[in-house]
Amino acid sequence: MGGFLESIIELFLHSSLFYPILGMFVIGDCVFPLLPSETIVNIASAWSGSTGRPWVWGIFLAAWGYSIVGDNISYFVGRMFSDRLTFKPNSKRARVSDWVRNSVERNEAVTIITARFIPWARWFLTIFLGSVKYPWWRFFFVDAVGAFIWATQATLIGYLGGWIFQDYPLIGVIIGVVAGLTSGIVIQHIQKSRVAQA
């Protein structure tokens, strides 16, 4: 069974379609935060750490570039529907919207960068910033920094898991994915606590 799974993973990661599929997942996760883009990056990076392929820098650059593209698509979607984004007073969405607005006013860079690690928060924030016509050039720059940190974290965690278990690629993949998911859950928990206290 393990050999079969290794063959399937290797076939996918060595395919010429790997980077386009990775791009589809990363961009799709930005626009519709249901696709496990970070998990795909973790898996590919862990395999790279174990076997040397695919090229880890290629994974990193693809994850970084595609995430910037996806976030900017969401931003411009928000701009297109700016007149329709209204929330009932005192509703949960209204409270989240107020918290986002206040957080951006207090420290825009930290808010945008932190949201990059939380799928639904990232989606809501990019849509929101577009809807309030937050300066695009400023969003692009800060988001690129956040995407860089996100891609570094997702790639590095997976790669280290694979590198530590070089003789057991599947174990390396599992360790890399679990470590990546754990870091994401911790960040989500911290962010939810901040929203609840707002």
Amino acid identity of residue 71, one-letter, is: D
SS3 17: coil
Tokens 């918290």 label which residue? 99
**Residue range(s) defining the domain that contains residue 189:** 2-197
The CA distance from 25 to 17, in Å, is: 12
Within 32-168, where are the H helices? 37-51, 56-80, 92-115, 119-131, 136-164
- In terms of Cβ atoms closer than 10 Å to its own Cβ (0-12, 13-18, 19+), residue 68 is buried
- Whether the pLDDT of residue 197 is over 80: the answer is no
- Whether the pLDDT of residue 16 is over 60: the answer is yes
Mean of pLDDT values over 14-34: 89
The dihedrals phi and psi of 190, each to the nearest 5 degrees, come to -60, -45
For residue 180, name the pLDDT band (cuts at 50, 70, 90): low
Contacts of 166 (CB under 8 A, 6+ apart): 49, 50, 172
User: Which among 52, 60, 49, 61 has a CA at the least distance from the CA of 160?
Assistant: 49
Position 65 scores a pLDDT of: 97
Q: How many domains does the chain have?
A: 1
Position 75 scores a pLDDT of: 94
Predicted model pTM: 0.82
* CA 174 vs CA 32, 146, 161: distances in Å: 25, 25, 8
Position 94 scores a pLDDT of: 62
Asked if residue 44 lies in contact with residue 9, where contact means CB atoms within 8 angstroms, the answer is no
Asked if residue 92 lies in contact with residue 196, where contact means CB atoms within 8 angstroms, the answer is no
Q: What percent of the chain has pLDDT over 90?
A: 29
SS3 128: helix
